[in-house]
Amino acid sequence: DVKVTQSSRYLVKRTGEKVFLECVQDMDHENMFWYRQDPGLGLRLIYFSYDVKMKEKGDIPEGYSVSREKKERFSLILESASTNQTSMYLCASSDGGSTENEQFFGPGTRLTVL
Amino acid sequence: QKEVEQNSGPLSVPEGAIASLNCTYSDRVSQSFFWYRQYSGKSPELIMSIYSNGDKEDGRFTAQLNKASQYVSLLIRDSQPSDSATYLCAVRVRGNNRLAFGKGNQVVVIP
């Protein structure tokens, strides 16, 4: 089974803090994704990556950056957290060699910025 | 037009009945379609994928795809209280590995 893990289930940070969210997958997937999910807005793609050291902006990249130094790990960085970044953050991965490209999600990190 | 639309409001069904969910998509050349189940406070879980026109059955779940009409549906037979969740429709975006997600439909199974 594909396993995607995220470093924290719940996180509380203060406005202006730098926040790191870590995601690790154990299935050698090329593709990794960061989403945020808010009531009424659905899943929104922040950034994604097709390969090590490669990143592409999703639909809402402002206020975020990412890092992918190793294939299995994809980090989301909030350079200066703001209250409007309070949300559920979901990491996903998929097999780049697969034509179907199903995405598998981690358990999520619920971030609260005070 | 949004890439993936799920327009129905919350769906309440009695236990044992069939729950029917619909999803339409805008890109005619989309090839891969997925249904995810998401329990409250949890992450989405892939429950069905479908790539060809017609029906695909897996246990109590049936996915139906009609590419000509650009819709995909999910049927849940013999609905159980454990099926109470939000169901997300997802479509692979042409030309890359992204998925476009609908906003989801909430299903409530009433015992």
Kindly report the nearest CA distance between residue A17 and chain B, in angstroms. 25
Read off the pLDDT of residues B63-80 as tens digits, 9 standing for 90 and up.
Answer: 999 999 999 999 999 999
- How confident is the model at residue A89, as a pLDDT? 98
Band of the pLDDT at B58, cuts 50, 70, 90? very high
For chain A, the average pLDDT equals 94
Residue B1 clears pLDDT 70, i.e. is over it: no
Residue of A nearest to B102 (CA): A42
Residue B88 near residue B100, CB atoms below 8 Å: no
B-chain CB neighbours of A45 within 8 Å are: 98
Residue B86 clears pLDDT 90, i.e. is over it: yes
A-chain CB neighbours of B29 within 8 Å are: none
> Is B49's CB within 8 Å of A43's CB?
no
> Is B103's CB within 8 Å of A40's CB?
yes
CA–CA distance, B46 with A97 (Å, rounded to integer):
19
Number of H helices, E strands in chain A: 0, 11
- How confident is the model at residue A99, as a pLDDT? 67
DSSP-based three-state secondary structure for A111: strand
- How confident is the model at residue A1, as a pLDDT? 67
Residue B76 near residue B59, CB atoms below 8 Å: no
Residues 63-92 in A contacting B (C-alpha not used; CB under 8 Å): 90
Q: What average pLDDT does this structure show over A5-32? A: 95
Residue of B nearest to A10 (CA): B41
CA–CA distance, B61 with B64 (Å, rounded to integer):
10
Band of the pLDDT at B31, cuts 50, 70, 90? confident
Q: What average pLDDT does this structure show over B94-110? A: 90
Provide φ and ψ at A74, rounded to 5°: -135, 120
CA–CA distance, B15 with B22 (Å, rounded to integer):
20
- How confident is the model at residue A96, as a pLDDT? 75
Band of the pLDDT at B27, cuts 50, 70, 90? confident
Which of A17-26 are b and which e, b meaning 16 or more Cβ less than 10 Å from the residue's Cβ? eebebbbbbe
Read off the pLDDT of residues A54-100 as tens digits, 9 standing for 90 and up.
Answer: 999 999 999 999 999 999 999 999 999 999 999 999 999 998 776 67
Q: What average pLDDT does this structure show over A3-18? A: 96
- How confident is the model at residue B4, as a pLDDT? 93
CA–CA distance, B38 with B14 (Å, rounded to integer):
20
